[in-house]
Structure 1
């Protein structure tokens, strides 16, 4: 599909990928559903509309692996047969992304706090080599608590890495509570602007706006690394999961899965 077609059909694409994600998790009887649903629109904007073949995308919040696998299935990098092995013994598609199996998954992630350091190193290497490429890292808001995240941020500022994009899935929930109550609000525009990132906030479920914002930031050759604080809803698209901490962990039973798919399908019909 062309970029124009994706933009025009973004809500239907988003719904279709949500159905794919729900199917993967239900079949595997696995958790981490809510975080995949909160960041899928961000992945669509980056992977389908803004990432070139030579750019790098790091899913730092590796527990949302099913969202990444679903996207790479659409692009043809992961086949239907491979996708069907999700979470099974011997799979190349475990609960957190594993390296050296697919070009779109260059590093193992899921131990939080390492995605931005990796992406920062890649961005710096591109600068040194004179390559006109971009390095994208998708983080959770809770992950901005991590010390390694802040070390990488200062390194990126010191080295003028304006080809680095940190995108934060700011859904307000992390492991055991709301992000503002665990260690305080560390995913704010004010904090990231203050240390030297060029920072914007955006609706993390508006695919067109996300893509447009990234495209505009690419034109800012100002030696400032970029931070996009994307406000999202955990469990977006499934009413009983939205903004509920337990859907970071729980699998769906049969009735819950049927309700979830019905709601997503209804939403697809309403947006046509």
Structure 2
């Protein structure tokens, strides 16, 4: 069994902290989907650092892997990861919502590394299926990952996509559900209950693993088992916390979208670092 104690995940932890700093800084001058983005950070950092064959030098290589961010409002986590791993210049994050760039509330393919526009929920599972089918037909070994929100699963297209994926035995395809238990300004189970979620995926023919989406050890173990079962769609349900890293906004229905002022951003950066705040530099506290 892999544990946090006997493996070195410090680099991933440090990267995730920096990505959360980027998200906080983007939560001003118009704001962004802060709470939802913070829940997905560890997933996205892990995928690009350890699992996917995607880097700044192979974005046009047909042998790269593919990631589709179906819950497109989490794009601050994706852009923050791009910035930390060299796929996007860090300075460009300051252009969030400005007219001189393409960095805004949802993914834009004019940003290198973005495979497909998203924002209207429920559509990218089908796009990912199309790519996975093409790779199967051509005999390519590329992996295809699609990140979905749990509230997004209310879209019938997600379940139709799963039926198709299993009908065509797309075991090169992995759906990752950011299960933070919120959708917009409500808890999922208070609106349209999803549980027992793993049983539902299995009933649709998928091979399923459920993990703590903030544990790099559990992420390592789950993704290391890919593909889970020959001929089946792979699904990981990653239990996460909306607003992870900021106790003042964690699991708050009203902190789905946030637009903070400069003073609030500085306080949130201090809160993020918690007891380690003495290591903060003046550069870290810069809002813009």
In structure 1, distance between residues paired with 2:35 and 2:110:
27
CA distance in 1, matches of 2:27, 2:8: 25
Whether 1:211 aligns to 2:220 is yes
Distance 1:187 1:70, change over 3 A: farther
How far apart are residue 186 of structure 1 and its match?
5.8
Q: How large is the Cα RMSD of the aligned pairs?
A: 2.0
Instruction: Determine the structure 1 residue equivalent to 2:59.
Output: none
Which of the residues 8, 11, 16 maps onto 1:9? 11
**Offset at residue 90 of structure 1 (A):** 3.3
Match for residue 227 of structure 1?
Answer: 235
Q: Identify the residue that residue 179 of structure 2 maps to in structure 1.
A: 170
Q: Which residue in 2 is equivalent to 1:132?
A: 141
- The change in CA–CA distance for 1:123 and 1:267 in structure 2 (over 3 A counts) is farther
Aligned 8 A contact 1:99 1:105 in 2? yes
**Cα–Cα, structure 1 residues 186 and 100, in superposed 2: closer, same or farther, change >3 Å?**
farther
Hey, what does 1:40 align to over in structure 2?
41
- Return 37-46 or 91-100, whichever deviates more: 91-100
Using a 3 Å threshold, how does the CA distance of structure 1 residues 111 and 130 change in structure 2: closer, same or farther?
same
For residue 61 of structure 2, what is the aligned residue in structure 1?
none
2:163 aligned to which of 154, 157, 161? 154
User: Does the aligned pair in 2 maintain the 1:199–1:229 contact within 8 Å?
Assistant: yes
Cα displacement (A) at 1:207: 2.0
CA contact (8 A) 2:12 2:49 kept: no
Query: In the aligned structure 2, how far is the partner of 1:114 from the partner of 1:193?
Result: 21
Say if 1:108 and 1:7 are closer, same or farther in 2 by CA, change over 3 A.
same
SS class of match (2:27): helix
CA distance, structure 1, for counterparts of residue 175 and residue 195 of structure 2: 14
Matched-pair contact (CA < 8 Å) for 2:12–2:46: no
Q: Cα offset for 1:51?
A: 0.3
Q: TM-score, normalised by structure 2?
A: 0.86
Q: How far is the alpha carbon of 1:105 from its aligned partner?
A: 0.2
Classify 1:20/1:267 alpha carbon distance in 2 versus 1 (closer, same or farther; 3 Å): farther
Structure with greater helix percent: 1
Aligned partner of 2:20 in structure 1 is 18
SS at match of 2:258: coil
Query: Which residue in 2 is equivalent to 1:89?
Result: 99
Q: Post-superposition shift, 1:221?
A: 5.0
Q: Tell me how far 1:255 sits from its aligned partner.
A: 4.0
The number of equivalent residue pairs is 264
1:74-121 Cα deviation digits (max 9, x unpaired): 22121123222111113221211111431x101101110012111111
Q: Distance in 1 between matches of 2:100 and 2:45?
A: 28
Q: Distance in 1 between matches of 2:83 and 2:163?
A: 35
Partners of 2:102 and 2:110 within 8 A in 1: no
In structure 2, how many angstroms separate the alpha carbons of the residues matched to 1:59 and 1:23?
21
Which piece of structure 1 moves more, 260-269 or 123-132? 260-269
3-state DSSP of counterpart to 1:214: helix
Answer whether contact 1:34 1:236 (CA < 8 A) is retained: yes
The verdict on how the C-alpha distance between 1:258 and 1:142 changes in structure 2, with shifts beyond 3 A counting, is same
The Cα shift of 1:15 comes to 1.3
Could you tell me whether the CA contact under 8 Å between 2:178 and 2:240 is conserved in 1? yes
C-alpha change, 1:32 and 1:79, in structure 2 (3 Å) is same
The Cα of 1:257 is off from its aligned counterpart by 1.9
Cα deviation for residue 12 of structure 1 reads: 2.1
